[in-house]
A and B are shown apart, each in its own frame.
Chain A
Amino acid sequence: MTNWNVSLLAPEIVLSVCALLIMLLDPPLRRKRLAGFSESVALVGFLGALFLGLMRIGLPVDSSFGGFLIADALSTYLHILFAVIGLSVLIMSIPWLRRDGVRQTEFLVLLIFAVIGMMIMSCSAEMVTMFIGLELLSLPLYVLAGYLRNRERTIEASLKYFLLGAFASALLLMGIALQWGTYGTLHLSSVAPGSGAAPLSLPLAAAGFWLVVVGLGFKVSAVPFHFWTADVYEGSPTPVTALMSTGTKAAAMAVLLRLMSAGFAPAAIEWMPVLWWLAVLTMSVGNLMALVQANIKRMLAFSGIAHAGYLLLAICAGGTAGNAALLFYLAGYTVMNLGAFAIVGLLEGKGERFQSIYDYSGLAKRNPWLAAMMTIFLLSLAGIPATVGFMGKFFIFTETLKAGHIGLVVIALLNSLVSVYYYLRVIYLMYMKDEWGEKPVCRVPASVGILLAFTTLVTLWLGVAPNRLLDALMAAARIF
């Protein structure tokens, strides 16, 4: 029986309507000097999506569109997360758009569509829908990455992201085609129906599976599919980087999670060793590369890669608690990264000049509050206790240990040991070095101030009181 319950898509619909409204009404209104219209509509859209996401908490599992979409606790959680990400990126981008005098209509529309893509990915129960979501997320991001198309670096970042992204999509599609060819179904929860054999027993199916993993690994920037990350993060406008590093990663990671812990769970014995290596490589390469970066966005890019490695660890851990740990870490990672990128965006100044970590020298004297908050985000990324970063790592590592991967945990611990060094270097520069060249005191717009206060508080709060979120996530972690 087919269920066509449209209400499952309510957040996406609200956002789409807002995007359309902006596209239709902005040009005539702009002529009448009604500035701020598009921003307000986008704001309303994200708040509406957030509200609708929150309303769905606790509702029973439902599916719609012939089972193509699924509304379970996981998708609800991710909808809320993506609405928060969209909202934060919107808040970050408004001062940036004004500062650099960039056209904002298209930017906002593309931002909204990218978030819709993430949402669709998170509630897709089937691979083609997932692919549509992925493209809906990627296409606007290609454009957003090169939004300042007159800048050499930006447009190069855009081209790189586009070509490599399209290439990865092609690989992913071939994977999907092979899956469909061998099993005749693409439902994430029921590949290989009826056949008693392990899902990956056929070579073509196995090849298809790995192609899908590569396609998703590209998006989560797992090593060795990560090379685009640093270049694109560096070249893109900072709010876009924030969106890529949090939203894209979360969406792709969620799909990977569904894939591994639902349909392909029986084949764990096949993919576990590979994932083990992927996790090790991703953590280690990310951390080692971050050590030698002098550009803060590149450093955060590689730190993001390392964190993707920790997330892969959680997939290796598996089980409800392991999944919950992953989702918890995702929330923590999102919050601290959004905060860090918001500060980077504030400090880089017009034309994005101040992106070297040495530009952070003496920040504590110029902007003590910004420096203090940046310190909290960096400590959290480094996994120092009383922050969400520590809690998240703690949960993931314990679950991984429980699953018996002792070696993996040892490597992860060594990695987080190394990572302290480069996070600490920025703190050291901020507090223990004098200014390096003349820097203007950075003025913090109220909206960004609220965003920063919020992310700081959540970073600390989840580090001190992770219970409620974790309990809620235990429900989201039961994946069918």
Chain B
Amino acid sequence: MFDYNHALILAFMLFTLGTAGVLLRRSALVVFMSIELMLNAVNLVLVVFSRLRGDLDGQVICFFIMAVAAAEAAVGLAIIIAFFKRKKHVDLDRASLLRS
């Protein structure tokens, strides 16, 4: 028997984990991976609800999110690489030139 609550809790845990990664990891790459994790948590939520409601729309939205995530990954990795080329590191703690 499939328990929707368990699936949702798993999704929220993934989401929280992703958030924690964003807040705590120093490497820009890992932070970016954490954001991807959050997006996947969203996908999981959508799939679970889709099944719960018997409505396929949720799964269609999933595809949208995956497409957007792919585009985001392309752009994001390019930016991270450009940053690395210029600074020879991707450490976020050392990326604070711009401040008040």
Q: For A159, give its contact among B48, B68, B79 (CB under 8 Å).
A: B79
Establish whether residues A163 and B46, one from each chain, have CB atoms under 8 Å apart when the complex forms: no
Whether B61 pairs with A128 at a CB distance below 8 angstroms is: yes
Q: How far is the CB of A411 from chain B (nearest CB, A)?
A: 23
Interface size on A, residues (CB 8 A): 43
* B72 and A139 contact, CB distance less than 8 A: yes
> Which chain B positions have C-beta within 8 A of A152?
86-87, 97
Task: Give min CB distance, B97 to chain A, whole Å.
Answer: 5
The answer to the question of A72 belonging to the interface, with a C-beta cut-off of 8 Å to chain B, is no
Range for the number of chain B residues in contact with chain A: 35 or more
- Does A322 sit within 8 A of B, measured CB to CB? no
- In whole angstroms, how far apart are the Cα atoms of A160 and B18 in the complex? 17
B52 within 8 A of A: yes
**Are A180's CB and B71's CB within 8 A?**
no
The reply to whether A150 and B86 contact each other, CB–CB distance below 8 Å, is yes
- B35: chain A residues at CB < 8 Å are 163, 166-167, 170
Docked pose: A132 CA to B69 CA in angstroms:
11
Q: Measured between alpha carbons, how far is A298 from B100 in the docked complex, in Å?
A: 8
> From residue A203, how far is it (CB to closest CB) to chain B in Å?
12
CB within 8 Å of B: which of A130-169? 131-132, 135, 139, 142-143, 146, 149-153, 155-160, 162-163, 166-167, 169
Contact for A180 among B18, B58, B80, B85, CB less than 8 A: B58
Name the B residues within 8 Å of A399 (CB-CB): none
Contact of A173 among B32, B42, B85, B92 (CB under 8 A): B42
Contacts of B18 in A (CB 8 A): 170
**Taking beta carbons and an 8 Å cutoff, which residues of A are in contact with B?**
128, 131-132, 135, 139, 142-143, 146, 149-153, 155-160, 162-163, 166-167, 169-171, 173-174, 176-178, 180-181, 184, 230-232, 234-235, 289, 292-293, 298
Beyond A158-B79, A167-B38, A176-B61, 9 additional contacts (C-beta under 8 Å) are A146-B79, A157-B98, A170-B38, A177-B42, A177-B45, A180-B61, A184-B57, A234-B98, A293-B100
Show 20 A/B contacts (Cβ-Cβ < 8 Å), sorted by A: A131-B68, A135-B72, A139-B72, A142-B75, A142-B79, A143-B78, A149-B82, A149-B85, A156-B98, A159-B79, A163-B32, A174-B38, A177-B42, A177-B49, A177-B61, A178-B45, A180-B57, A184-B57, A234-B98, A235-B97
